[in-house]
A and B are shown apart, each in its own frame.
Chain A
Amino acid sequence: MQGPTKGITPSQTVGPYFAYGLTPSGRYAWNDAFSNNLVTSDTSGERIRIVGTVFDGDGKPVPDCMLEIWQADAQGRFSDPQDRRALPNSSFKGFGRRGTDADGSYWFDTIKPGTVPDPDGKPQAPHILFGVYARGMLLHLYSRIYFDGEAGNAADPVLALVPTDRRATLIATREQGNGNAVYRFDIRLQGENETVFFEL
């Protein structure tokens, strides 16, 4: 029974059956609390789509994975009063969720985030936080999506913590095409080119 012991509640896996509760997306009767389309008509900034596939340690796609993203708006402000700078002036929430498809793929429609300061006030390059949840993951993983071609990447204090030969795993690559920008960001949970994850 729950006693008076101190400490946080431990994490457990989402398991294989979370979809009807967390990402029903029209396949189940339950309604979605969150969407993979973060764009609101009143928000400014460059519309982008992020696409990718999640792979396991055998290089196989992970079809039962959930991704969550959290980001600032185009001015680098978070839709959260704990960000004590001026609040965003649009209905952009900055949070999205998506379950991977049968082929392990996912996508988000959002806007390119602006620059957010680090604890010393130094600018961080535009980035999106993400969390990965799946069967076989007892505790979710956190990491960041950066964007290819951003001038700020070279001076970003978090990217600087990552060994040079692994930094590419955190940088979404721009795909060829017309219309809104599409960035590819594959996530490798283990093995060759394993995505860098952060201890937060």
Chain B
Amino acid sequence: MTLIYPVESNAAHPARLSPAYRSTVKRSPSKPLIPMRHTLSELTGPVYGHETVREHDHDLTIQGSGEPLGERIMVHGHVLDEDGRGVPDALLEVWQANACGRYVHVIDQHPAPLDPNFTGAGRARSDATGYYKFVTIKPGAYPWGNHHNAWRPAHIHFSVFGHAFISRLVTQMYFPGDPLFPFDPIFNSVTDENARMRMVSAFDLEHTRPEWALCYRFDIVLRGRDATPMEAR
């Protein structure tokens, strides 16, 4: 099977210049991007051995000497291609704020406490069906300087590798029903509502573990589809 990567699929992405998110103004190109045919360089991508992800890297609640504070949650789902096939062995990296909305990063000066038992970084590899799972703490909302009284909706950052360098995705997973959605220029930089809602996880009661943790489902669809569509066979 040979995968192709139609550029039309990129229409789901935000415009690079989205002035409501102020930092885009000086960090987006002013000249049009140059289209080109994909060559072997674009159609291949890194393959990693199991040494990249250690056994417990998917559990962000056991990195300290004690349990982190906050609401324990599970986040799971499938990494899929555009035909809905699972992407096996995809590397997923996550980073997030703690339950109080504070990041470990040195430049985060939000006056909310750090949690000595929570770094907020994790890693997982999808299995043969594309399935992945994280155990973590529900992140808090936090303020930022984009405009007066600006707050980011709670989110988990995801970095995902697919089959090719051009299926690389960095995104943010949001939580259903967040009251901050209408006010966040980063979330709303995705102008198509259907596309925007693909960044919002779904509460998953079926996989919520009684007496232990709520579960959220987040499927991630990467670029790439079969060069020979099913209908044409």
Contacts and interface: CB of A to CB of B under 8 A. Distances in A.
A82 B44 contact: yes
A158 B48 CA distance: 28
A189 B26 CA distance: 8
B228 to A, nearest CB: 16
Interface stretch (B30-38, B66-74, B129-137, B206-214): B30-38
B198 A5 contact: yes
Contacts of B168: 68, 131, 140
A133 B43 CA distance: 20
Contact of A158 (B36, B198, B199): B36
B112 interface: no
Nearest to B161: A95
B217 A20 contact: no
Contact of B52 (A28, A33, A131, A196): A33
A171 interface: no
B91 A33 contact: yes
Contacts of A154: none
Contacts of B53: 33
Given A83-B44, A139-B16, A189 B35 contact: no
Contact of A134 (B27, B164, B194): B27
Interface stretch (A44-52, A117-125, A177-185): A117-125
Interface of B: 5, 7, 9-10, 12-16, 18, 21-31, 33-48, 52-53, 63, 82, 91, 93-95, 97, 103-108, 119-123, 157, 159, 163-166, 168-172, 176, 186-187, 189-190, 194-203, 217-223
Given A28-B121, A82-B45, A200-B42, 14 more contacts: A1-B202, A13-B23, A13-B170, A14-B159, A21-B120, A93-B48, A117-B39, A118-B39, A136-B22, A138-B15, A138-B16, A161-B35, A190-B29, A199-B33
Interface of A: 1-3, 5, 7-22, 24, 27-30, 33, 56-58, 60, 62, 68, 70-72, 78-83, 93-95, 116-119, 124, 127, 129, 131, 133-142, 144, 158, 161-162, 166, 189-191, 194-200
19 contacts: A1-B201, A1-B203, A2-B200, A2-B202, A7-B194, A9-B222, A11-B13, A16-B108, A17-B95, A20-B104, A21-B157, A28-B119, A33-B91, A33-B93, A70-B165, A135-B27, A194-B31, A197-B33, A200-B42
